[in-house]
Amino acid sequence: MDDVTLRNHDGDILSSFWQYGLINWNFFYDCLNTIIFSSEAWFVVDGTPINVCLTAQHARTRHPTTSNTACRQEAYRMRTRVRDQCCLISGLQVIRNDYVRLKAAHIFPRAHDIEWVDKGYQSLITDTAPIADVGGAIKIDSIQNTLLLRSDLHDAWDSYRFGVNADAGYIVIPFVAGYDDIAGKILKLDHITDPTIRPLDDLLRDHFLQCVLKNMKGAGEPNWDYEDALDDGSMDLSRSDIWGSKEGQAHLEFELAHRLYPIRVGQRRDLRELIIFLPEA
């Protein structure tokens, strides 16, 4: 295990990541094609330097969140617990209905529900649960978009510390040091025989892409100290050291979108009911 760094001919870092022995040359090349591009076709035969650029795309803003879901939106949590009964990565079992060490994690975050709709992910959901149990018409609370994870892994998942490669047997690949206990494990999905409640590969791929952008593009994006900003669930907006930067403002926008999500869902539901009951002209 070691830190792997790729530099250009000027010494600038193009990519870096922590290698657990899980990333081979073919996979590394695929990742580089995601984050590095050249303005013209090239073929290196004599070691002549070529100019390449990093993609302008960034990882989708996300950080661990506290539960703020209204009772009527808690169905995804209960349904995930019933389906999984253990952490799908570590294998930590639920004993005597004690879930204090386990959390239902969204694969794609609810705070980015507009992007979810733009990408058409709701059309991939085949979950047959009542519309109120899947987050309304956009279906972002379907358990096809959730995993039951150990609490610390839930936070690491939200922070893009590791991902699941759905195209390589669902292997767990951490991108930073300190995750030896889960590196190389396989996401546990064999117990899910009903395809309408199985987590979607497309969503796992989306999350994995965010991990690559977060950790392998250049020297990697900085980790945001969410515990300092949100440890007790409150937000001190007078702290310009946290919220004054561009990164801090992006995380503030994410946090507000997360906290207001239940209200937005309620407004969409109320609007649908209003349209249904409006008298015809």
Neighbours of 8 (CB within 10 A): 14
Q: How far apart are CA 201 and CA 199, in angstroms?
A: 7
- Mapping DSSP onto H, E and C, the string for the chain reads CEEEEEECCCCCEEEEEEECCCCCHHHHHHHHHHHEECCCCCCCCCCCCCCCEECCCCCCCCCCCCCCCCHHHCHHHHHHHHHHCECCCCCCECECCECCCEEEEECCCHHHHHHHHHCCHHHHCCCCCCHHHHCHHHCCCCHHHEEEEEHHHHHHHHCCCEEEECCCCCEEEECCCCCCCCCCCECCCCCCCCHHHCCCHHHHHHHHHHHHHHHCCCCCCCCCCHHHHHCCCCCCCCCHHHHCCHHHHHHHHHHHHHHHHHHHHHHHHHHHHHHHHCCCC
The answer to which of 90-104, 156-170, 243-257 has the lowest mean pLDDT is 243-257
**What's the mean per-residue pLDDT of the chain?**
83
What confidence tens digit (pLDDT) does each residue in 176-210 have? Answer: 999 999 999 999 999 999 999 999 999 999 999 99
Asked if residue 275 has pLDDT above 50, the reply is no
Q: Residue 148: in which H helix or E strand, if any? A: strand 146-150
Q: Each residue of 242-260: pLDDT tens digit?
A: 666 766 666 666 666 666 6
In this predicted model, what pLDDT tens digit does every residue of 12-54 receive, in sequence order?
Answer: 888 888 889 888 888 888 888 888 887 777 666 777 777 788 8
More confident residue, 12 or 81: 81
Residue 59: pLDDT band by 50, 70, 90 thresholds? confident
Average pLDDT over residues 98-124: 95
